[in-house]
């Protein structure tokens, strides 16, 4: 393989492919109703799975599951009525991250995941501080000229079958991971992506929790 995957920092990174399903209540930020995460490591020229997690999440009363949400992903109010709360589901996921390990989150249209994590940061403080790799700018760099860069378009481009349960978090994590691995294969042949720093420059997104808070110019 090429320079990117030979970079020691790349090999030392645990890549967490992350996906949320959510409701979007009027007057409030999106509220998670399902989360899935798949941990990957790259060593000896191949990817291996290092762990996975998935959970339904019970939304707050102000963010009920609508008919439109059910039509998209099949999740119903009845399914979520007994699901863990955000504090329970995201807290359990957060406790799986260990200090001293380099993590990067991977998501398609990563601003969506970044926004959800920011608003749920009290429940998952460690996860909310992990920076992200967005597969959209990475795909735009490595596969220019596509009509668009939606996930389904990239699945077609890379001849990855569309899962029957597309728009469920676990299924979307699996296919996003496959797209990401195909992109890394292409990145190994790209001179602009010779190390992890180059990858972050092109596709990195700073976690919203890590962004500096703008201070008021004057204290009144």
The pLDDT, as a whole number, for residue 218 is 42
CB 102 within 8 A of CB 13: yes
- Among 174, 143, 145, CA closest to 160: 174
pTM of the model: 0.94
Give me the domains of the chain, ranges plus CATH numbers. Answer: 3-210 (3.30.420.10)
Q: What are phi and psi of 125, to 5 degrees?
A: -60, -35
For residues 98 and 96, give the distance between their C-alpha atoms in angstroms, rounded to a whole number: 6
Strand-pair category, 31-43 with 13-23? antiparallel
Nearby residues of 142 by Cβ (< 8 Å), 6 or more positions away: 183, 186, 187, 190
Average pLDDT of each block of 10 consecutive residues along the chain (220 residues)?
Answer: 87 98 95 98 96 98 95 96 98 96 98 97 98 98 97 98 97 98 96 93 96 54
Three-state SS for 86? helix
The pLDDT, as a whole number, for residue 212 is 81
Specify which residues 16 forms β-bridges with.
39, 105
């Amino acid at each position: 393989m090429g320079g990117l995957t030979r970079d020691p920092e790349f090999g030392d990174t645990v890549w967490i492919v992350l996906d949320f399903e959510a409701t979007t209540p009027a007057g409030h930020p999106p509220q998670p109703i399902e989360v899935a995460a798949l941990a990957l490591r790259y060593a000896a020229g191949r990817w291996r799975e290092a762990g996975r997690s998935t959970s339904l999440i019970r939304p707050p009363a102000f963010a009920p599951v609508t008919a439109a949400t059910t039509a998209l992903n099949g999740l119903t109010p009845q399914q979520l009525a007994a699901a863990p709360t955000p504090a329970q589901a995201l807290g359990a996921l957060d406790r799986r991250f260990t200090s001293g390990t380099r993590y990067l989150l991977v998501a398609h249209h990563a601003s969506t995941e970044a926004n959800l994590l920011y608003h749920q940061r009290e429940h998952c403080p460690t996860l909310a501080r992990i920076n992200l790799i967005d597969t959209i700018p990475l795909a735009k760099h490595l596969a220019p000229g596509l009509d668009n860069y939606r996930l389904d378009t990239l699945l077609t481009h890379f001849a990855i079958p569309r899962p029957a349960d597309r728009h469920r978090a676990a299924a979307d994590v699996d296919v996003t991971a496959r797209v990401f691995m195909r992109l890394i294969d292409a990145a190994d042949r790209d001179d602009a992506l010779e190390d992890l720093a180059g990858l972050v420059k092109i596709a990195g997104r700073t976690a919203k929790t890590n962004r500096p808070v703008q201070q008021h110019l004057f204290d009144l």
